[in-house]
Amino acid sequence: MINLIDIKQPREQANELRDRSWNKDLSIPTKNVLNIVDIIRAEGDTGIFKCIEKYDHVKLKSFIVTMDEIQEAYEKVSAKQIKIIKHIKSKLEKSEQAVIDNLKNIKIDSDGIKIKKTILPIDRVGCYIPGGKARYPSTIVMCTVPAKVAGVGQIVAITPPMTNGEIDPLTLVAGDICGVDEFYKIGGAYGIAALAYGTQTIRKVDKIVGPGGVYVSVAKSIVSKDVSIDMIAGPTELLVYADEKSNAFYVALDLISQSEHSEDTLCGVVTKSKTVADNISREIDRIIKIKKIPREELVIKSMENNGFIALCQNNEQVVEFINEFAPEHLEIFAKEDKELIKKIHNAGLILIGKYTPSAVSDYCLGSNHVLPTYRFAKSRAALSVLDFIKLVNVIEMNKNALKKIAPIMKEITSTEGLINHYNAVEGRIKE
C-alpha cells in the first residue's frame, strides 16, 4: 500500500514527493480560487451566500453566529468536553506567555542612544478553522489563545457550516471559552477572501491565520499581497525517521493517525534499513486489514496516493532528505536521536522517542498544532504569540550622540547619493 523509494538524490526526490502530494498541478485550484476571490470582492455578502450554497450545499438565512446559538451549543456539549478544552487552553497559554515574557522590557542605552523595543499587538485577526471531513475545536484553541496572550483587540473566527446549517457545538464553545469576538459560518477560499477584503457584514482583518486544505492554502497565498498571513498550513505532513531499534507498530500507528485527516495528507518514513521499511509496510497493512480502523477509506487513499518509505544509504542522505523535505511534523525513532537533531534545521515540530507521538502534540502538550507545510518549515515554525505582535523600536538620542555618528552618516549618504539625509543631521549639529 505504501510506496518504497530508493533514495539516490535526496534533494531532488524530496521535492518530487512534495510536488506529487500537492495535486501535481495547482493550475486548476488556483484558477477556481481566483474566481471565488473575484466573486467575494465584487458581491460581498451576496457572493458568500452563493458560495455557501455551491460549496457547502446548504442554504442559510444568515452566516453570522449569534449569542443564542453559542448558548445553545453549551447545552449540546458535556462538562467533560468543556474541561478538556480548558485544559488544552491552559497548557498553551503557559507556553505562549513564557515566550512573550522574555520579550518584555528590552532596552538598549549606549553612547547617548536609547532604544526601547515595544511589543504591540495586531488590532484585528481572522482565524480559519477547518471543517469538512472532521471537526476541529482544538484548532480554534490553537489559533485564538496565542492571539489573546499577545493582546489582539478583535479575534474573528470562520468555519464552514455543516449540512444542517449549524457549526459544530464544541467548536463554538471552544471559541467562546478562548475569547472569539465574531464567529461566521463561512469556510473555504470564499471565507479567506471575506476576511481579506471584507463584505457588508464582515470588516476585513489585518492578518489571517489557521490551517486548511489545498484550496484554503492557495487562497491564503493569493490574498497575501493584500493582507498578512501566517504561513501555508495544510494539508498535514508527517515524516518519521526510523532505525533498527524502532517499533514498527508505533510508526505505523502514527502514519495512520495523520493520514486520517484527508486523502491529500503527506505521510512518510525515512530509514537506512530495508528490513525496517518492510516491517513498517507490513504493520500498516496489518492494522488496516485486521483492526477495521475508523476513517479507513481516507487513510487508504492517503497512503496509496502520497505515503512513502524513503530508503537512504547513509546518515548524510538521511539528513539531506529531511532538511530538504522540511516536514511539518518530524518524529525521530533512533538511538542516535540527539546527534541527529543537531543536524536537522528544517522541521515545524520535532518529536523524540517512541512515547512522543505526533497525535498527542496536536492537542495537549502546550505546543501549537498549526504548523508550516509545503517547505515553509525552512523559514518558520509553529503558530505562536510572535505571529500576533509587532516589535516596534522607540529611539531617542542626544546632540552629542548625533555629532559622533555624523561622520558615518556623511560617508554612507555620500556613497548612496542621498545627501539630504546627511543634511538632516548637519542642520542639527551646526545649531
Question: Which positions are catalytic?
Answer: 328-329
For 23, the grid coordinates are 495535486
Question: What is the C-alpha to C-alpha distance for residues 83 and 103, in angstroms, rounded to an integer?
Answer: 31
- For residue 368, give the nearest of 386, 387, 384 by alpha carbon: 384
Question: What is the C-alpha to C-alpha distance for residues 384 and 217, in angstroms, rounded to an integer?
Answer: 19
For 295, the grid coordinates are 476513517
